[in-house]
Amino acid sequence: GAGVSQSPSNKVTEKGKDVELRCDPISGHTALYWYRQSLGQGLEFLIYFQGNSAPDKSGLPSDRFSAERTGGSVSTLTIQRTQQEDSAVYLCASSLEFRYEQYFGPGTRLTVT
Amino acid sequence: AQTVTQSQPEMSVQEAETVTLSCTYDTSENNYYLFWYKQPPSRQMILVIRQEAYKQQNATENRFSVNFQKAAKSFSLKISDSQLGDTAMYFCACGGSNYKLTFGKGTLLTVNP
């Protein structure tokens, strides 16, 4: 079946602009995760959804970051007033409910100029 | 909270040989899972192998196996008969009761012909 998809694949934006990143999880996966991967670094947890609710938002780095999930499926990560330090690859993953194995999408590379 | 440490930023191995990647972790949880993910230049994170902490038997997946030393909090990955396609960044990860994964900073493995 289809894996996790993310769009856009690459995004270049000017400092101060808002961006939206989209994640489409594997069908039937109720859990969805967002991670950020900065150059040469591991993955940093941002937020986790179970269904449409987000029980863990602890990783969002500032109030410029927000995310929502609708219909228990597609999720959107929004970054307002982008800064250069937001440049990174944003990865989305999904999993079955109460399962640890997460399956990742190809990521969105965000470049803030 | 968990921490994951990968002490080898880079490693190389000759094709057909065996290589072992190191990982140590710390967690306060009794029930947790450990994973190795592979990230080739395509950026797609691929699940390589998983280990349930409550199982003493080391997990194996074809050419990939782990050496899980629970008391030492060590979780190394052994790749046998290395292939050129194994060239990638390898991340060790730990998942606890909140299901989010904590990743190490990764080891860049290069398989030389």
The answer to whether the Cβ–Cβ distance between B44 and A98 falls below 8 Å is no
Chain B contact for A93 (CB, 8 A cutoff) = yes
Chain B residues within 8 A of A107 when measuring between CB atoms: 43-44
Give me the residue from B50, B99, B104 closest to A31, CB to CB: B99
Closest alpha carbon within chain A to B96: A100
Instruction: Classify residue B14 by its DSSP letter.
Output: E
Q: What's the pLDDT score for residue B97?
A: 78
Q: What's the pLDDT score for residue B67?
A: 97
Cβ neighbors of B107 (< 8 A, separation 6 or more) are B6, B8, B9, B10, B11, B21, B22, B89, B90
Cβ neighbors of B45 (< 8 A, separation 6 or more) are A43, A91, A93, A104, B37, B38, B39, B91
Nearest CA-CA distance, residue B50 and chain A, Å: 8
pLDDT in tens, A14-71: 999 999 999 999 999 999 999 999 987 789 999 999 888 888 888 999 999 999 998 8
Q: How far is CA A16 from the centre of its chain?
A: 19
Residue B86: CB atoms within 10 A of its CB come to 20
Nearest CA-CA distance, residue A104 and chain B, Å: 6
Q: Is the pLDDT of residue A1 over 70?
A: no
